[in-house]
Amino acid sequence: MTDSDAFQASSEEVIAYELHGNCYLNITDRCTLRCAFCPKFNKTFEVQGYDLRLKHSPDFEQVVVAVGDVSRYREIVFCGLGEPTQRLALLLQLAQHFKLKGATIRVNSDGLANLLYGRDVTPELSGLVDALSISMNAQNEAVYNHHCRPKQGYPGAYQAMLEFASKAKAFVPSVTLTAIDGLEGVDVEACREIAADLGVQFRGRELDVVG
Ligand code: SF4
């Protein structure tokens, strides 16, 4: 890691980091899921050379300062070792700020925001989020629950995630479901077919590679 590709809120916290010509934002460590394959449930917060452990939740100004000149990046991507929609109000405020500066905005999400908030939040993404990448992770609820382990209080997470993807199509120009190639029991081709039936895109991912 160099000074030019990691931007820190303190000497120890990375809240914006550069990969693939994009700027990735790490705005929370909270999640609705407890994925068995997640680095943070395997005793590390390191992802592709960046330590994404947060000791506090960064605020609007800290994120804006950490990003700096948005014209340097192809995309601003909300994607940390936490679910960005857990801080939906901040996400939308930042997306609006960066959009006004000409940025393209992507959110990498678990797709469980509607379940979390108990309402359909997809209309709130309209005009602010250009692309949604949603972790589908499995072709059925049993395999999903085995790998993603939704926290208590979130029954029906798999179906809720699919419904979120379907609803988001009306408000976000690009919606993509993803699944990790090689995870036990995961049928990537079946996942691809479900995405096609929902009318959204699909992408197979590699474990521990941020995309
Ligand atoms: S949703 Fe992402 S950050 Fe949260 S537990 Fe799963 S893999 Fe980890």
Residue 149 Cα distances to 40, 145, 165, 178, 179, angstroms: 14, 5, 19, 17, 15
Out of 3.40.1390.30, 3.40.50.1370, 3.40.50.1820, 3.20.20.70, select the CATH number for domain 6-205: 3.20.20.70
Q: What is the pLDDT of residues 42-98, one digit of tens each?
A: 878 888 888 888 988 999 999 999 999 999 999 999 997 899 999 999 999 999 999
Rg, C-alpha atoms of the chain: 16
Q: What is the mean pLDDT of residues 14-34?
A: 94
% residues pLDDT > 70 (the chain): 92
Burial of 39 by CB count in 10 Å (0-12 exposed, 13-18 middle, 19+ buried)?
middle
- pLDDT value for 44: 82
What is the Å distance from ligand 1's center to 38 Cα?
6
- Contacting residues for 51 by C-beta, under 8 A, at least 6 apart: 12, 14, 45
Indicate which atom in ligand 1 lies nearest the CA of residue 33. Answer: 5
What is the Å distance from ligand 1's center to 45 Cα?
11
Indicate which atom in ligand 1 lies nearest the CA of residue 148. Answer: 6
